[in-house]
C-alpha cells in the first residue's frame, strides 16, 4: 500500500475502528489480503497502538474525576526526561503524559474515583519524585470534545427526508 | 374569478418527489437515501465568515451581480478549475443557488416556441424552467447502456430548426454519469453546425472519482462564447442552505441575466456571499476530504449492489447511484413505495427525474457509512423477498 493510501486507511480506522477488513478493502480499492497485511505491519511498527473505545465515563459513574496536572521538573543527566517519563507513565492512574514547551515540562492526565484520591496521588506519588519541583492540578469539570467527537451535543440529521 | 391560475403554470406537474416525501415522513423509523444534499456540515471556517459578516452588520444589499470580491474569487476559481477565463465585472454573477441561474438562463435566451434540447434523467427543474420561459422542452432520453452519457447521434436526432439551446448537466443528478473531455468533444461539431447555445449545469463539478478531472464544455475550442456555465457552492462546499450559486458566460448574455436577476431577486443574500468568498479562497482541502469520503461510500455501495446482484453502472460523479430494478417487473414508483412500506427505506423513484428514469431508483450516498450499512441491509432484505416471491 503506498503512503497516500496508507494515510487514507489510517484516517478511516482512526474515525471508526470497527470497520470490517472487507469494507476497508472495498472503500480503498485494495484487496482484503492487502488490508490484513497493512494492519499487521502497522501494528508491528506500533503505528497502530491500540483499538480503544471512546467512552464518556461521566455517564457511567459520575463521581469519577480526571485532572490535568502540570509538572515542573529538573531532570538529571542526558536522558533525564525519558527516565522520568517512564517512571510517571508507569502509574495506572496516568492516562496521558506529554512533554510540553512553555512554562512547565510535563502535562499529565490523571483519573481517580474522587477529587481526594487524585489529589492524594499527585501529592503522594508525583510531587515526591526527586526531580519534580512543583505541581499544579486542574480538575476537569465537563468534557466537551474528545478524539474529535463532541460529547455533549449530538448531531442529528437536520435534512429533509427527500430532496431533488 | 375564473382562471385565477395561468394555464402555463397550472399545466406544470408538481415534482414527483414531493408526493413521496409526504408518504415517507409519516413512517416512523424510516431510513432515507433520498436526500440530494451533502451530509457534511458547512466547514467551520466558512460558517465563521458568515457569523463575522453578521456581527459586523454586513446586512445590506450588495451590488446586483454580487460582491466584487466574490465575483473575482469565482473568476479565479473557474480559471483554476476549468481553465476558462471570465471577466469578473461583466461575465460572472452571483445567484440564489444554481436553481436561480437555470431559470435566469432560460428567461434570457428563449423566445416563445424556441426549443431546448436537454438530457434526461435530470434534475427536476430543467423542464419547468424551460416551459415557464415559453420554451419547448425537448428531452433526450439517455440510456443505461451508454452509461447515461449523451452521444452525438442522440443529440443530432433531437435537433430541429427551432432548437435554440442544449442543456446538459454532468456530473449528473440522478445518475452519477460523467462526460469526459473526449465525450464532450464529439458534441462540439453538432453544436456549431446548428449554431446552438449551451447551458451547462456543473453544480457537481468538484465530485468526480476514479481520478477523473471535470471538464467543462465551455473549455473546448469555440464553446466559451456560446456556453452559460452554472455552478454553485451547495454540493462542493456543503452549503445548500446558504443558497449560493453563480453563472459565468459571454458578457452579452450575462448582462441580460443580471438584468433579470436585478428585477426578480435584487441580490443574493449578503451574509452568504461573505461565507462564499471564504469557501472559494480557503475551501480546497475541505472539498478534497469530502470527495474522498463520498468516493469511499461509492465504492462500498457498488460492491454491495454487486453482491446483491442489482445491476448498476459505475457512476463516476456526484453522490448518486442509479441501480436498475427492471428485473422485478414493477414501476420505479411501485418499487419505491413497496420498499418504503415493507422495509421503511426511502429512495427516490427514477421517473421523478423524467420518463427515462423509469425502471431505476436513485440512491444518494450523502450518508455516513453506518447509515448506508443499515440501508443496504434493508434493501437487501427487500430484493431477496421480491426474488423469492417470483420463484
How high does pLDDT run on average in chain B?
A: 97
| Chain A residues with beta carbon closer than 8 angstroms to that of B296 | 12, 27-28
| Residue among A29, A159, A164 minimizing CB distance to B17 | A164
How does pLDDT run across A84-139, given as a tens digit for each residue? 999 999 999 999 999 999 999 999 999 999 999 999 999 999 999 999 999 999 99
Cell 434493501 locates to: B379
Q: Please give the residue of chain A at the shortest CA–CA distance from B122.
A: A164
Q: What is the mean pLDDT of residues A14-23?
A: 94
Alpha-carbon distance A28 to nearest alpha carbon in chain B (angstroms): 6
- Helix %, strand %, coil % of chain A (to 5): 35, 20, 45
Assign residue B116 a region: left if phi > 0, alpha if psi is -120 to 50, beta otherwise?
A: beta
pLDDT of residue B365: 98
What is the rounded distance in angstroms from the CA atom of residue B290 to the CA atom of residue A147?
19
| Residue among A19, A159, A164 minimizing CB distance to B124 | A164
Q: Please give the residue of chain B at the shortest CA–CA distance from A5.
A: B292
pLDDT of residue B202: 98
* DSSP helix/strand/coil, A66: strand
Assign residue B333 a region: left if phi > 0, alpha if psi is -120 to 50, beta otherwise?
A: alpha
Tally DSSP H helices, then E strands, for chain A.
Answer: 5, 6
Size of interface A-B (CB pairs under 8 A): 56
CATH class of B7-42+285-390: alpha beta
CA nearest neighbour of B248 among B266, B233, B228, B265: B228
What is the rounded distance in angstroms from the CA atom of residue A110 to the CA atom of residue A118?
7
Alpha-carbon distance B184 to nearest alpha carbon in chain A (angstroms): 25
Hey, are the CB atoms on A27 and B300 less than 8 Å from each other?
Answer: yes
Q: What is the mean pLDDT of residues A50-57?
A: 92
pLDDT of residue B45: 98
Hey, are the CB atoms on A27 and B124 less than 8 Å from each other?
Answer: no
User: Of the CATH numbers 3.30.70.3450, 3.90.1150.10, 3.30.450.40, 3.30.70.920, which one belongs to the domain with range A57-146?
Assistant: 3.30.70.920
Assign residue B177 a region: left if phi > 0, alpha if psi is -120 to 50, beta otherwise?
A: beta
Assign residue B325 a region: left if phi > 0, alpha if psi is -120 to 50, beta otherwise?
A: alpha
**Looking at beta carbons, which pairs linking B112-115 to residues 24 or more positions away fall under 8 Å?**
B113/B162, B114/B162, B114/B163, B114/B164, B114/B165, B115/B160, B115/B162, B115/B163, B115/B164
Hey, are the CB atoms on B32 and A161 less than 8 Å from each other?
Answer: yes
Q: Where are the domains of chain A?
A: 3-44, 57-146
Query: Where are the CATH 3.90.1150.10 domain residues in chain B?
Result: 7-42+285-390
The percent of residues above 70 in pLDDT, for chain B, comes to 100
pLDDT of residue A76: 81
Hey, are the CB atoms on B39 and A157 less than 8 Å from each other?
Answer: yes
| Chain A residues with beta carbon closer than 8 angstroms to that of B352 | 164
More confident residue, A1 or B241: B241
| Residue among A23, A157, A160 minimizing CB distance to B300 | A23
Alpha-carbon distance A111 to nearest alpha carbon in chain B (angstroms): 32
Alpha-carbon distance A98 to nearest alpha carbon in chain B (angstroms): 28
Query: From the centroid of its chain, how far is CA A120?
Result: 23
Tally DSSP H helices, then E strands, for chain B.
Answer: 14, 12
- Is residue B125 pLDDT above 90, yes or no? yes
- Is residue A10 pLDDT above 80, yes or no? yes
How does pLDDT run across B139-193, given as a tens digit for each residue? 999 999 999 999 999 999 999 999 999 999 999 999 999 999 999 999 999 999 9
The percent of residues above 70 in pLDDT, for chain A, comes to 100
Q: What is the mean pLDDT of residues B281-302?
A: 98
pLDDT of residue B205: 98
Q: What is the mean pLDDT of residues A59-73?
A: 91
Alpha-carbon distance A21 to nearest alpha carbon in chain B (angstroms): 12
Q: What is the mean pLDDT of residues A70-83?
A: 90
Terminal alpha carbon distance of chain B: 58
Hey, are the CB atoms on B346 and A159 less than 8 Å from each other?
Answer: no
Q: What is the pTM of this model?
A: 0.94
Alpha-carbon distance A39 to nearest alpha carbon in chain B (angstroms): 18
CA torsion through residues B319, B324, B329, B331, sign = positive
Q: What is the CATH number of domain A3-44?
A: 1.10.10
* DSSP helix/strand/coil, A43: helix
Residues of B contacting chain A (CB within 8 angstroms): 15, 17, 20-21, 24-25, 30, 32, 34-37, 39, 41, 123-125, 173, 292, 296-297, 299-300, 302-303, 346, 348, 352-353, 369
Hey, are the CB atoms on B303 and A157 less than 8 Å from each other?
Answer: no
pLDDT of residue B80: 97
CA angle, B9 as apex, B5 and B12 as ends, to 5°? 135
pLDDT of residue A155: 82
How does pLDDT run across A24-42, given as a tens digit for each residue? 999 999 999 999 999 999 9
Least confident among A14-23, A149-158, B67-76, B133-142: A149-158
| Chain A residues with beta carbon closer than 8 angstroms to that of B15 | 164
What is the rounded distance in angstroms from the CA atom of residue B313 to the CA atom of residue B145?
8
Q: Please give the residue of chain A at the shortest CA–CA distance from B353.
A: A164
| Residue among A26, A28, A162 minimizing CB distance to B24 | A162
- Is residue B259 pLDDT above 80, yes or no? yes
Query: Where are the CATH 3.40.640.10 domain residues in chain B?
Result: 44-283
What is the rounded distance in angstroms from the CA atom of residue B64 to the CA atom of residue B87?
16
CA angle, B82 as apex, B78 and B85 as ends, to 5°? 55
Neighbour count for residue B356 (Cβ, 10 Å): 21
How does pLDDT run across B8-43, given as a tens digit for each residue? 999 998 888 888 899 999 999 999 999 999 999 999
| Chain A residues with beta carbon closer than 8 angstroms to that of B17 | 162-164
How does pLDDT run across B338-378, given as a tens digit for each residue? 999 999 999 999 999 999 999 999 999 999 999 999 999 99
Are A115 and A139 in contact, with CB atoms under 8 Å apart?
Answer: yes
Hey, are the CB atoms on B37 and A12 less than 8 Å from each other?
Answer: no
| Residue B320 grid coordinates | 448518486
Q: What is the mean pLDDT of residues B276-289?
A: 98
Interface predicted TM-score (ipTM) of this complex, two decimals: 0.88
| Residue A19 grid coordinates | 470497520
CA nearest neighbour of B106 among B136, B129, B140, B137: B129
Listing DSSP states for B327-381 in one string gives GG---HHHHHHHHHHHH-EE-EEGGGG-GGGTTBEEEE--S-HHHHHHHHHHHHH
pLDDT of residue B19: 85
Question: B44-283 has which fold?
Answer: 3.40.640
pLDDT of residue B15: 85
Cell 449551451 locates to: B198
| Chain A residues with beta carbon closer than 8 angstroms to that of B346 | 161-162
Hey, are the CB atoms on B15 and A164 less than 8 Å from each other?
Answer: yes
Amino acid at each position: 500500500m503506498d503512503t497516500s493510501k496508507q494515510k487514507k486507511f489510517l484516517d478511516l480506522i482512526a474515525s471508526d475502528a470497527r470497520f470490517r477488513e472487507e469494507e476497508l478493502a472495498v472503500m480503498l480499492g485494495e484487496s482484503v489480503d492487502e488490508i490484513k497485511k497493512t494492519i499487521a505491519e502497522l501494528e508491528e511498527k506500533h503505528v497502530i497502538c491500540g483499538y480503544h473505545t471512546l467512552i464518556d465515563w461521566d455517564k457511567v459513574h459520575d463521581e469519577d474525576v480526571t485532572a490535568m496536572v502540570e509538572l515542573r521538573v529538573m531532570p538529571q543527566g542526558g536522558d533525564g526526561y525519558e527516565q522520568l517519563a517512564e517512571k510517571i507513565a508507569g502509574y495506572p492512574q496516568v492516562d496521558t503524559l506529554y512533554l510540553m514547551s512553555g512554562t512547565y515540562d510535563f502535562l499529565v492526565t490523571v483519573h481517580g474515583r474522587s477529587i481526594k484520591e487524585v489529589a492524594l496521588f499527585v501529592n503522594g506519588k508525583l510531587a515526591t519524585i526527586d526531580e519534580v519541583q512543583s505541581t499544579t492540578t486542574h480538575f476537569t469539570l465537563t468534557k466537551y470534545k474528545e478524539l474529535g467527537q463532541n460529547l455533549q451535543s449530538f448531531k442529528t440529521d437536520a435534512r429533509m427526508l427527500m430532496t431533488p | 374569478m375564473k382562471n385565477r391560475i395561468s394555464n402555463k403554470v397550472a399545466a406544470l406537474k408538481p415534482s414527483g418527489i414531493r408526493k413521496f416525501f409526504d408518504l415517507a415522513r409519516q413512517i416512523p423509523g424510516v431510513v432515507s437515501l433520498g436526500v440530494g444534499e451533502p451530509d457534511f456540515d458547512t466547514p467551520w471556517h466558512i460558517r465563521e465568515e458568515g457569523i463575522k459578516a453578521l456581527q459586523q452588520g454586513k446586512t445590506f444589499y450588495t451590488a446586483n451581480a454580487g460582491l466584487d470580491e466574490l465575483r473575482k474569487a469565482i473568476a479565479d476559481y473557474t480559471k483554476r478549475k476549468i481553465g476558462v477565463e471570465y471577466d469578473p465585472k461583466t461575465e460572472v454573477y452571483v445567484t440564489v443557488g444554481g436553481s436561480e441561474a437555470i431559470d435566469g438562463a432560460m428567461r434570457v435566451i428563449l423566445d416563445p416556441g424556441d426549443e431546448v434540447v436537454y438530457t434526461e434523467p435530470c434534475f427536476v427543474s430543467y423542464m419547468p424552467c424551460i416551459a415557464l420561459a415559453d420554451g419547448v422542452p425537448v428531452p433526450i432520453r439517455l440510456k443505461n447502456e451508454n452509461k447515461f452519457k449523451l452521444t452525438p447521434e442522440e443529440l443530432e436526432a433531437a435537433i430541429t430548426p427551432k432548437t435554440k439551446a442544449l442543456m446538459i448537466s454532468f456530473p449528473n443528478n440522478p445518475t452519477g454519469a460523467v462526460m469526459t473531455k473526449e465525450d464532450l468533444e464529439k458534441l462540439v461539431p453538432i453544436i456549431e453546425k446548428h449554431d446552438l447555445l449551451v447551458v451547462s449545469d456543473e453544480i457537481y463539478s468538484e465530485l468526480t472519482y476514479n481520478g477523473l478531472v471535470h471538464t467543462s464544455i465551455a473549455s473546448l475550442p469555440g464553446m466559451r462564447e456560446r456556453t452559460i456555465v452554472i455552478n454553485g457552492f451547495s454540493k462542493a462546499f456543503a452549503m445548500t442552505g446558504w443558497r449560493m450559486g453563480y453563472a459565468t458566460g459571454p458578457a452579452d448574455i450575462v448582462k441580460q441575466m443580471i438584468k433579470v436577476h436585478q428585477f426578480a431577486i435584487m441580490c443574493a443574500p449578503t451574509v452568504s456571499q461573505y461565507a462564499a468568498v471564504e469557501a472559494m479562497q480557503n475551501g480546497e482541502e475541505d472539498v478534497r476530504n469530502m470527495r474522498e469520503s463520498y468516493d469511499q461510500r461509492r465504492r462500498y455501495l457498488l460492491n454491495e449492489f454487486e453482491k446483491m446482484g442489482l445491476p448498476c453502472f459505475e457512476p463516476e460523479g456526484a453522490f448518486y447511484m442509479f441501480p436498475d430494478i427492471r428485473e422485478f417487473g414493477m414501476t420505479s414508483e411501485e418499487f419505491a413505495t413497496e420498499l418504503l412500506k415493507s422495509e421503511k427505506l426511502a429512495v427516490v423513484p427514477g421517473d421523478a427525474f423524467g420518463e427515462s428514469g423509469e425502471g431505476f431508483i436513485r440512491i444518494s450516498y450523502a450518508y455516513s457509512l453506518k447509515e448506508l450499512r443499515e440501508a443496504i441491509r434493508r434493501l437487501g432484505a427487500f430484493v431477496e423477498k421480491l426474488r423469492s416471491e417470483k420463484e
